[in-house]
Structure 1
Amino acid sequence: MEAPQVQPQLATIAEPTRFRIVQLLSTRACTVGEVAEHLGALQPQTTKHLQALEAAGVIRVHRLGRRRVARLDRGTMSALSEFFGGLASPAGDDTVLDEYEAAIVRETARPVGDDGARTLEFDRQLAATVSDVWRAWTDPERAVRWWAPQHFEVDAWELDPRAGGAIRFVLREGAGATYASTGVVDEVEPGARLVFRLAPVGADGLPLFAARHTVTLTGSGETTALRLRIDVSDVRSEAAPAVAGLEPGWTQLLDALRLTVEG
């Protein structure tokens, strides 16, 4: 059942007295008088609540001569259960967000004087030629297709694939916030090796940390082995979210790279 179809039932059940009625009727069918007694309310007030629940399809009221017996509409309950069961199914973002938040907590807890130095390494086997993978890293039209984690898009991307060349890219979030990173290319071996320094900048325009990226490509025919090594140091105190996002961020980027070069 889609959300618009369950909204009337949820809005009706959300009223506290009606919620109590639903709880009561979940155990057994009751007459109007029994419901009123359970609530400690007058029968006319109870009748109005039962009418609202019936109109929304939450309960059924059986008119048995002079008696009125209410019970849950099990079909509606089944549809609500299916709807919420769907919401309970894990999504891909769940684990990523949990791990990212935990990483930020660990970064924030670093002792004073710890510059956060560490090395991250990523390996991918790609079903694409070395030249295709190299172009994906160095050609702006190709790079913008994959150089953005989930929920972001590339707002600007510049990389001059020469030693001393500048790097700059800007990510834009859905709400419009932007995040800039800048750096410089250190080494270039076309089709084999690309080394660059790149890091996000803070509000003061200075890098939040130092990060030297080494991309190595080795290939055989239509297959390329990619290794990315990131040496991190000089992590500023306010850089916890940014540096904690390196591992999940680059994992997503390299997955997107695979789709780009293999698609």
Structure 2
Amino acid sequence: MDNDVTRLELRREYPDPIEDVWSALTESDRTARWIGPWTGEAGVGNTIMLTMTAEEGSEPGPAVIRECDPPKRLVMDLGVTDQPAWRVELTLTERGEGTVLDFVHLLPKTDWDTSDILKGWHFYLDRLGASLVGEPVPEWDTYTPPSLEA
């Protein structure tokens, strides 16, 4: 492992079939429900523009698709202003009738507080879960990740 990289890992289990979770991760009208819509031409090596709608004042940002193996694996480099790209790896595995999502975020070591970044990914994955079952998605101002609740 590269000592200049921080690895954040999260796992979520959803009762939904793998194809449904995959579609929620990759189709713009579905991503719009939990993280934000994207525009562009999907495909390995292509850059799409993702607007993270829960981020105040968010402008579309580049996301380069590095790997895509439907419905099991998606790897993207997310553009971050004035920073090296953040590598995000999403791996789906069937478990019974449901799906396990293993989420990995590789980011360059910085003096940033990674607990804030981790809280952000908990937030988005909880929004994904809510969108899959048709429930209202959490809002940031009232959100507490499950691992941080009293």
Instruction: Give the TM-score of the pair, scaled to structure 1.
Output: 0.45
CA shift in 2, pair 1:181/1:245, >3 Å: farther
Which structure is higher in helix share?
1
Which structure is higher in strand share?
2
- Which residue of the other structure, out of 77, 85, 90, is the alignment partner of 1:210? 85
- Which residue of the other structure, out of 45, 63, 69, is the alignment partner of 1:164? 45
2:18 is aligned with 1:130: yes
Matching residue's letter, 1:130: I
CA shift in 2, pair 1:184/1:215, >3 Å: same
Question: What is the number of equivalent residue pairs in this alignment?
Answer: 132
Identity of aligned residues (%): 27
After TM superposition, the structure 1 = structure 2 runs for residues 23-172 of structure 1, keeping only pairs within 5 Å, are: 117-147=5-35, 154=36, 156-158=37-39, 160-171=41-52
CA shift in 2, pair 1:245/1:167, >3 Å: farther
CA distance in 2, matches of 1:159, 1:233: 26
Deviation per CA, 1:7-51, whole angstroms, max 9, x where unpaired?
A: xxxxxxxxxxxxxxxxxxxxxxxxxxxxxxxxxxxxxxxxxxxxx
CA distance in 2, matches of 1:232, 1:140: 25
CA distance in 1, matches of 2:53, 2:43: 26
CA distance in 2, matches of 1:221, 1:233: 36
Point out which structure has higher relative CO (alpha carbons under 8 A, 6+ apart): 2
Unpaired segments of 5 or more residues in structure 2?
135-150
Residue number in structure 2 paired with 1:226: 101
Q: Tell me if structure 2 keeps the 8 A contact 1:209–1:234.
A: no
CA distance in 1, matches of 2:123, 2:86: 18
Q: How far is the alpha carbon of 1:253 from its aligned partner?
A: 0.4
Which stretch shows the higher mean deviation, 244-253 or 129-138? 244-253
Q: Secondary structure at 2:51's aligned position in 1?
A: strand
Instruction: Give the TM-score of the pair, scaled to structure 2.
Output: 0.74
Q: Secondary structure at 1:215's aligned position in 2?
A: strand
- Which residue of the other structure, out of 76, 86, 89, is the alignment partner of 1:196? 76
